[in-house]
Each structure stands twice: as C-alpha cells, then as structure tokens.
Amino acid sequence: MMYPSSVAKSSEPLHTGTTGQILDVSRRHVSLLTMEGILSGTIASRALDVVTGDRVVYEKRDGKVFVTDVVPSTRTLSRSYRGALKRMGANIDLLLVITAVGPTLNPATIDRMLIAARVQNIPVVLVVNKWDLEKGESADFLEVYRKIGITVVHCSAKFGQDFADVQSLIHAPDVSVVALCGVSGVGKSTILNRLVPGAAARTGEVSERTGQGRQTTSQPRGFLYSDFDSCRRIIIDFPGVGFFGLSHLEKDKVVAAFDEFVEYGQRCRFLNCRHLQEPSCAVREAIENGDIASWRYHSYLQILDEIEEAREY
C-alpha cells in the first residue's frame, strides 16, 4: 500500500492532565477533545491564537472550561492572507490534498499546498476525487506528480468507489490528525462524511456555470474518527481555499520544496542557483528538454513573484 514515506512520529500521549486538542474554533468558543470526552469551552485571552489541531491547556472554573494556554505546535499548515500569516491547522500528521478530475483540478493551487506541507514536514498524499467523471487532461498532471514522488490515490467519494485506499491512508500507524485541504467543490466534506458516518458535514452543489464550488464549509472542523483498532483520530475538514498565499516563506525554502528542481539542480553551475537567469542552469535545461513540467516551473515563478511583491510593502 502507498503509505506516505515519512509519517511523523507522535511520541507523547495524546492527552495528559488538563490538556486537550482543539476540534473547532468559532470566535472565542472552542470544542476540544479531552480525557473526559468532547468539551465546550472559551478561549481565556484574546492573545491566544488557537486553531483546530492545537494542543491546549484548560482549566475549569465554576464548571466552565477555559483554554488558558496553547502548546507550541509542530507540523502547522499556514498560509498568508491579506498580508498576515494565518495558521490553519496544527499538529497535522497527514495532509490529504484533495482535488477532483475536470475543471477543479488546479495544479498551481495543488503545488502551493504541497509546498506549505513540505516546509513543515507534513506528509502529504494527493487524493483525486470524482474519478467517476470525465478525466480530460487530469491524467497528465497526475502522472507528473507521481513522477516526482508524490503518492496519488483516486476515489469517488459520492459513490464510494475505490475508497479503501483513502481509508487505509488514515489507518496508517502514528497518524492521529488528518487534514483535508483543497479548493472549493472538490468533495472534501463528501469524503469526510463517508469516513465519519453521522458527521453530516454540509456539502454543496458545484456551480454549473463555472464548474467551481461555492464555498460550503465556512470554517475548519475537526471530527472524531474511530476505527476498528479503537485508536482515536481527528479528521479536519477545511473550507475550500481560494488563494493559498505563500508570501511568508523564504525563497530558498520554496526552491528546496520542488523536489525535481533539487534533483536536477545538483548539476547547475552555481550551488545556490535559483534557476532564474543564472548561466548553465540544469533546471531550465531540463524544462526545455521536457524532463521537468513547465507548469511546475510556472508555479515556482509565481510564488517567487508573490514573495517579492510582499517585500515591497
């Protein structure tokens, strides 16, 4: 089976003492998974930045639950949004980047999510949903992702076809928080509903006109997933992202996150080549020869431009 190559180890127990893990946040209200079950609480201070997946410390006062601290998170999925860094979800052991065949398959956005995961060492799998529909050009893009070492699985969540592969990804050892991320309308909530019977996450109709979904899920929601080995897992359903901003990243981190550039880049004349105008650049040569997909290079240039523009402010 195609497990992600480096599933993160979580050595510490999931919940000890008065710590819990955040399922949902709505303004200052949270629901959190604790040893006592799922509790509702309030974030004690506005200064606390709390997102789904965060491990937090809580106290009870007069029977009410207050979140008083956040344990520093690892493997945090973040994006830049209107000039600010926005944490989306924390302590993610496996990110399922969801896409769908047809017009919603958007490699530029997929690349951005792959990079956001890569810089945080979050293992990723690309899940291609709506496999029941016309594949069109999708197969060509997917072949490129496979070639650069990304695990790609497909399914049809609506009809339950090929769903065993998705399920076995989640059952991988050491995976306790799984997040579903992708543009609107690719079927994240439909996948979630199939994984967690009774979750009843709202799903939306895709606009006939644009082929894109209108955003149906409005904020990240964590659901409890219990399987046969009674290991408790959290599955996070993210709202569809329109633009996945990466202007907070360092350029060198972005270069290093394109695996095929790193591979070919070993033959560039300059060790620190960014594959732009440098002479004797093996990456640009590989693009000309068709060994690297030009749309991957295009994604890369767009991200560098975005970082450059953000600096100018």
Positions that interact with Mg ion (CB under 5 A) = 188-189, 216-217
Residues of this chain, 195-224, that bind ligand GTP according to CB under 6 A: 203-206, 213, 215-217
273 binds, among Zn ion, Mg ion, ligand GTP, none (CB under 5 to 8 A by kind): Zn ion
Q: Does 268 bind Zn ion (CB under 5 A)?
A: yes
CB 236, min distance to Zn ion, A: 37
Q: Does 31 bind ligand GTP (CB under 6 A)?
A: no
Sequence-distant (6+) residues with CB within 8 A of 288 are none
Burial class (CB in 10 A: 0-12, 13-18, 19+), 266: exposed
Which of 4, 89, 185, 220 lies at the binding interface for ligand GTP (CB under 6 A)?
Answer: 185
Compute how many residues bind Zn ion; rule: CB under 5 A.
5
CA 80/CA 121 separation, integer angstroms? 18
CB atoms within 10 A of CB 96: 25
Which of 21, 275, 293, 300 lies at the binding interface for Zn ion (CB under 5 A)?
Answer: 275
Q: Does 109 bind ligand GTP (CB under 6 A)?
A: no
Compute how many residues bind ligand GTP; rule: CB under 6 A.
25
Instruction: Report the residue number, 126 or 287, with the smaller CB distance to Zn ion.
Output: 287
130 binds, among Zn ion, ligand GTP, Mg ion, none (CB under 5 to 8 A by kind): ligand GTP
Residue 5 CA to its chain's centroid (Å): 16
Q: Does 187 bind ligand GTP (CB under 6 A)?
A: yes
Which of 128, 254, 273, 304 lies at the binding interface for Zn ion (CB under 5 A)?
Answer: 273
CA 106/CA 147 separation, integer angstroms? 18
Both tokens of 292, joined, read: 């690297």
Estimate the share of the chain in helix, then strand, then coil, as percent rounded to the nearest 5: 25, 25, 50
Nearest residue to 67 via CA among 85, 84, 80, 50? 50
Q: Does 181 bind Zn ion (CB under 5 A)?
A: no
What is the 8-class DSSP label of residue 92?
Answer: -
CA 176/CA 9 separation, integer angstroms? 10
Residues that bind ligand GTP (CB under 6 A): 129-130, 132-133, 156-158, 182, 184-190, 203-206, 213, 215-217, 239-240
